[in-house]
Structures are given as structure tokens and as C-alpha cells.
Amino acid sequence: MGVKVEFVLVIIIVAIAVMMLGINIDIPNISEKRKSKELEFYQTRFTEVTTEDEVGVAFSGHGVRENGYLYLEDLFYRNRDIEAMRAKSATYQNRILLLEGNVSLVERGGYRFFTQQAFFNKESGLLTISAPFLFTRGEERFSGKSLQYDTKKRAVEAIEVNATLLSVAGERKRQEGM
């Protein structure tokens, strides 16, 4: 008895099918790639304008928009109320800007804030500092654990504060002593 050709062909076809199913061919999905990195830019200035005026300006050394988040490095920002806001890195999502690394905010009224981490909500104008901070205005300075500053109302709320404040009389004495 010999082996029939049909039987051999069936075994070869089955072996090929098993090998094909056993090999995992990874073909990248183009739509998945598009969902991750949407935009990348270097040394870019963004200007926010109305029909009459410039509202704000931001500059970033490098930025990537990915999965609904905007990641920025070496951020600088200014608007009508803020003279300069800087951070080593920032993440923007849902109108909240998370600032990290050497964060500083210089407000047009002379207020200066320094910290390592803060959140800024542009719509409400709230700067929330969630790390130890230093606040200065002229020779007045205070530090603390956390702070919330309303850039529109120019109101400050802080927790565990260490302060050095000058009164009007103290300022006169200091000026007379010069």
C-alpha cells in the first residue's frame, strides 16, 4: 500500500496553515500612530490676539501634543496681568497648565512667586502653588507650604507662612536712615 498523493497534500496544507497561524505578524495600525503624537514643534512663539489687541504671548523651546495633552519645555508666557511666567516644563490639558521645575511668576503689580510646581488656570486667573514657595514684593517676602493667587483680583491665600513685611512707618524709617 502506498501513500496517496491527496493525503500528502492535505498534510502539507495543514502544516502550512499551522505555521501561518503560529507566526505573529505585527503590522502597525496607522490610525493608532496618528492618535499618539499629533504635533511637534521647536523654538515656537504663540500669540493670542483679539480683533483689536494682543492678549498674550507664549514661547516654548520644544513642544509635543500627544493624546490630548500638550507637553512643553522651557516655557515663557506673558499677558496683560503677568509680566513673565517661566517653567522648565509644562503640561496643558483641559485649560489647566501644570508648571514644573524652576517656576517663576512676575506679576505686573510687582508680585514675584518662585516654586518648583504650580498649576495655572488661565480662564479663572488662579495660580495654585502646591510646593514650598517664596513670594516677594519689593522688600516684603514670605514663604510657605502652598499658595493660591488670583491674578485678576490680586488676592493671596497661603498655608504655613513665614513672613517679613514692612509697615508704612517701617518703610519711612528705612528711607530716613539712608
Rounded to whole angstroms, how far apart are CA atoms 170 and 178? 13
At 94-109, the pLDDT tens digits run: 889 999 999 998 988 8
Alpha helices in 52-131 (DSSP H): none
For the chain, give percent helix, strand, coil, nearest 5: 20, 55, 25
Q: What is the pLDDT of residue 169?
A: 53
Q: What sign has the CA pseudo-torsion 33, 37, 40, 46?
A: positive
Q: For residue 59, what pLDDT is reported? A: 95
Average pLDDT, the chain: 82
The pLDDT score that the predictor gives to residue 153 is 84
Residue with cell 493624546: 67
Band of residue 3 on the pLDDT scale cut at 50, 70, 90: low
CB atoms near residue 107 (< 10 Å)? 18
Cβ-contact 91, 97 below 8 angstroms:
yes
Architecture of the domain spanning 36-174: Sandwich (2.60)
Predicted pLDDT of residue 45? 93
Considering only the C-alpha atoms of the chain, give the largest distance between any 2 of them, rounded to a whole number of Å: 123
- Cell numbers of 15, please? 502544516
Return the closest-CA partner of residue 59 out of 37, 41, 76: 76
Tell me the pLDDT tens digit for each residue of 33-60: 455 678 899 999 989 898 888 889 999 9
Name the DSSP letter for residue 131.
S
